[in-house]
Amino acid sequence: MSMFPLNKLQEIETPFYYYNMDLLDDTLRTIKKESEKYNYHIHYAVKANANQRILKTINSFGFGADCVSGNEVAASIEAGFTSDRVVFAGVGKSDKEINIGLNNNIGCFNVESIPELEVINELAEKAGKVAGIALRINPNVKANTHHYITTGLEENKFGIYIWDLEKVMAKFKDLKNVEFKGIHFHIGSQIQDLESFKQLCVRVNELQEWFEQNRYFPQIINVGGGLGIDYEKPVENPIPDFKAFFKVFGDFLELKEGQEVHFELGRSVVAQCGTLMSKVIYVKEGVNTSFAIVDAGMSDLIRPALYQAYHKIDNLTSLGADQKYDVVGPICESSDCFGKAVTLPETKRGDLIAIRSAGAYGEVMANQYNLRELPQAIYSSDL
């Protein structure tokens, strides 16, 4: 537990997000080193964490930004990402959001349907611009992950179906304000079985043959993200195995001359550097269960309540004998629970509790349900 500056953290009003900026730097350095072996282009998936300090740090390594809303595009530009390194994905882009992308001259829109392609063309024509387009194709590849975060199967809402490709590509002949630049895939999130990515490579190779036969050249091959992290052992495995991850694509993706491979990494970049810090308000003895009631709630970290996500929970300040607790928050919902039957040293009022691996989909999903205040962000480099 010594990785935390406890004396300083105990003085800060809880709950708050604590970011280990040294770990973030180490993670970014590893990504840069391993991806440069293959000349891969890395875009950070802003939806994982849109904190400006985090964005500026990631931008400083020369990576791009993958956005799924107009405000994420604006936040990326504000953080210093150059517009040519910004891509805009998402199944339901509004006219207002598309115009934000056009006005900022972003590098690429990842398009998911014919109606969207037509709307972007119409808005680009009004703006006197030509929009770069990558087609998000649904590869029908199963990612072995939670059903809420798989995105690459035919029953998911995402992407253009393979049987519609001919119709979509024909549209580019009629639409003069959109330019075909490449193809885009994303099969899901928190994927730890690299076999899923090998299957994606095989499917991309098959599609490449179709494009070649029909005399289309996708310059950009965007294979998305989805690499998982170790939620169970965050201290032992703070940085995912990017070497093995990138090697899968190096070994199995068959590229044509002049093609670029792009990635959109989110969770694997920021998850382990963030911890939600909370204090125990009360310990309540139930009939069969002891409750450690903390001052953080599902409004601060919604993942466990939303889709039963696991986060390792540590008591940083107690040295007592181990006991089991349900660690719950103060919000008036039964789902406001961070973990059931969690083994912790004997816990008392005022103990500092660390909810680990919360740097991705933590602060960015925080809300003010029950009119609670949003958690503040604290950075290791400031302490």
Examine residue 15 and say whether the peptide bond preceding it is cis (omega within 30 degrees of 0): yes
Element containing residue 75 per DSSP (H, E): helix 70-78
Cβ pair 88, 108 in contact under 8 A: yes
Q: d(Cα 330, Cα 332) in Å, to the nearest integer? A: 7
Element holding 265 (H helix, E strand)? strand 260-265
pLDDT for 161 equals 87
Our CA angle for 149, 232, 263, nearest 5°, is 45
Strands (E), 287-328: 290-294, 313-315, 322-328
> What pLDDT score does 143 carry?
56
Please give the pLDDT value at position 141: 76
What is the pLDDT tens value at each position of the chain, 383 positions in all?
458 999 999 999 999 999 999 999 999 999 999 999 999 999 999 999 999 999 999 999 999 999 999 999 999 999 999 999 999 999 999 999 999 999 999 999 999 999 999 999 999 999 999 999 999 998 877 654 445 434 434 445 568 988 889 999 999 999 999 999 999 999 989 999 999 999 999 999 999 999 999 999 999 999 999 999 999 999 999 999 999 999 999 999 999 999 999 999 999 999 999 999 999 999 999 888 899 999 999 999 999 999 999 999 999 999 999 999 999 999 999 999 999 999 999 999 999 999 999 999 999 999 999 999 999 999 999 99
Q: Look at residue 125 and give its three-state secondary structure.
A: helix
What's the Cα-to-Cα distance from 94 to each of 19, 295, 370, rounded to whole Å?
33, 37, 30
Q: In the prediction, which pLDDT does 162 show?
A: 85
| Number of Cβ within a 10 Å radius of residue 193 | 12
Q: What is the pLDDT, as a whole number, of residue 286? A: 82
Short-list 218, 225, 204, CA closest to 43: 225
pLDDT value of position 149 = 38
Give long-range contacts, CB 8 A cutoff, 24+ apart: 342-345.
342/292, 342/313, 344/292, 344/313, 344/314, 344/315, 344/318, 345/315, 345/318, 345/319, 345/320, 345/321
For the chain, domains (ranges, CATH) are 6-15+272-382 (2.40.37.10), 21-271 (3.20.20.10)
Q: How far apart are CA 71 and CA 104, in angstroms?
A: 12
- Give which of 111, 99, 107 is closest to 70, Cα–Cα: 99
